[in-house]
Structure 1
């Protein structure tokens, strides 16, 4: 569920700027970086950013 913010951003950029042959590899790299950081931190990157969860997700 918390991957949603990055997914929304990727889709927004694609809609505004269009697609090219570099988009998919770049998105995969973003997801891998996020996964690596979260693995080292032991929690979601969004959990340490002030207000992100409260202002993005409906509970």
Structure 2
């Protein structure tokens, strides 16, 4: 059951993009991708500073 819930949480938001206005998706996708890059940089920095612990 937990595996099904995890898949729904993973795939569900992507399926909802088809129901949203394309202009809204275009406007927010750039910010979303910037957030992903920023968080990745923060996590990489944290791993580098703590030695991977």
TM-score interval for Structure 1 and Structure 2 normalised by the shorter chain: 0.3 to 0.5
Question: Which of 1 and 2 has greater Rg?
Answer: 2
Alignment TM-score, normalising by the size of structure 1: 0.43
More helix by share: 2
Higher relative contact order (CA 8 A, sep 6+): 1
TM-score for the superposition, normalised by structure 2? 0.46
